[in-house]
């Protein structure tokens, strides 16, 4: 089911490409000529965006027929035929680029998420996305993360409490020497618990900050750019003294080091690169 928000995104993309003013297609292809095209995966990955592709073609021509041979979340192989489009050839050629752009982007995000999740499948750790998304496409990209087996962090600033380093400094909780004002921190957490029902997450950048913040039992502590040694120490301290606190690792996470991070025993790992720099999955559309 395509949401109204997604419909608006697709409509903007079609307007951007000026599909109704496709001069080449109108001048070269007879208006009533029909045919069939095949969408083929040019590399292995996780398929995502099938409903969008169907909607895009039918948005231009309700009579067009789009049949996918795989569904979102399926692992597809290089040179695998994933769909056929049958009907008016002008419609197929007008919608081709917009449809493939969405399919490539979302399949790329889903594939990237899958690669991270697959790397740590033996560990009991959640792989989360971040808000480092393409402006205007967050809803679609976060859907693709779920398709790839990852989990969504908060969708927007209105849907979660994460007190980051700049919040701590701006509120006077942490001074220029990175020393924590315990009274201010205690009051801030107390105030947050009264004002919101969201879990309270606080970001720390050093093991010493972690020790000081843990005393006030926030729901989640984000361990930003911690070394493996400090991650292990933080998990050990949490397990012994504050077992209910969830620990999230973040910062500099890549496919090269995520297994090491997961092995420390943290509960979740947030990975910005899943959405801010995924490799698009390549597809082609060819007429039969």
Active-site residue identified among 131, 132, 151, 193: 132
- Our measurement of the distance from residue 245's CA atom to the centroid of its chain's CA atoms, rounded to an integer in Å, reads 25
Active-site residue identified among 97, 119, 139, 151: 97
**Catalytic-residue membership of 164:** yes
174 DSSP 8-state letter: B
Nearest to 152 by CA among 256, 210, 144, 64: 144
Q: For residues 146 and 152, is the Cβ–Cβ distance under 8 A?
A: yes
Q: For residues 248 and 5, is the Cβ–Cβ distance under 8 A?
A: no
Locate the DSSP E strands across the chain.
Answer: 34-41, 45-46, 65-68, 75-76, 81-88, 126-128, 161-163, 200-204, 220-224, 246-250, 268-270, 283-287
Residues 6+ apart with CB under 8 A from 250: 130, 203, 222, 223, 224, 225, 269, 270, 272
Residues 6+ apart with CB under 8 A from 80: 40, 41, 70
Q: Is 204 helix (H, G, I), strand (E, B) or coil?
A: strand
Residues 6+ apart with CB under 8 A from 121: none
Active-site residue identified among 96, 203, 205, 248: 203
Active-site residue identified among 58, 139, 151, 164: 164
Diameter of the chain by CA atoms?
76
**Catalytic-residue membership of 97:** yes
CA distances from 234 to 98, 194, 204, 268 (A): 47, 28, 11, 14
Catalytic (active-site) positions: 97, 132, 164, 203, 224
């Amino acid at each position: 089911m395509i949401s109204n928000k997604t419909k608006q995104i697709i409509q903007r993309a079609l307007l951007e490409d000026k599909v109704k003013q496709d001069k080449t297609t109108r001048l070269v292809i007879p208006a009533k000529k029909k045919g069939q095209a095949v969408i083929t995966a040019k590399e292995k990955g996780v398929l995502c965006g099938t409903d969008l592709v169907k909607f895009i073609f039918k948005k231009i021509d309700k009579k067009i027929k789009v049949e996918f041979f795989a569904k979102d979340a399926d692992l597809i192989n290089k040179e695998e035929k994933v769909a056929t489009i049958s009907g008016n050839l002008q419609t197929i050629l007008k919608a081709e680029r917009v449809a493939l752009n969405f399919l490539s982007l979302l399949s790329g995000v889903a594939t990237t998420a899958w690669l991270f999740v697959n790397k740590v499948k033996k560990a009991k750790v959640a792989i989360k996305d971040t808000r480092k998304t393409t402006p205007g496409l967050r809803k679609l990209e976060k859907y693709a993360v779920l398709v790839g087996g990852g989990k969504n962090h908060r969708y927007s600033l209105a849907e979660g409490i994460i007190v980051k380093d700049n919040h701590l400094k701006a509120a006077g909780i942490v001074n220029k020497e990175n020393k924590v004002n315990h009274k201010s921190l205690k009051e801030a957490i107390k105030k947050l618990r009264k004002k919101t029902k969201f879990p309270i997450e606080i970001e720390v950048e050093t093991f010493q900050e972690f020790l000081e913040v843990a005393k006030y039992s926030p729901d989640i502590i984000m361990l930003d750019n911690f070394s493996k040694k400090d991650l292990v120490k933080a998990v050990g301290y949490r397990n012994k003294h504050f077992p209910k606190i969830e620990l999230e690792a973040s910062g500099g996470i890549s496919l090269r080091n995520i297994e090491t991070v997961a092995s420390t025993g943290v509960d979740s790992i947030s990975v910005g690169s899943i959405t801010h720099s995924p490799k698009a999955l390549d597809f082609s559309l060819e007429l039969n």
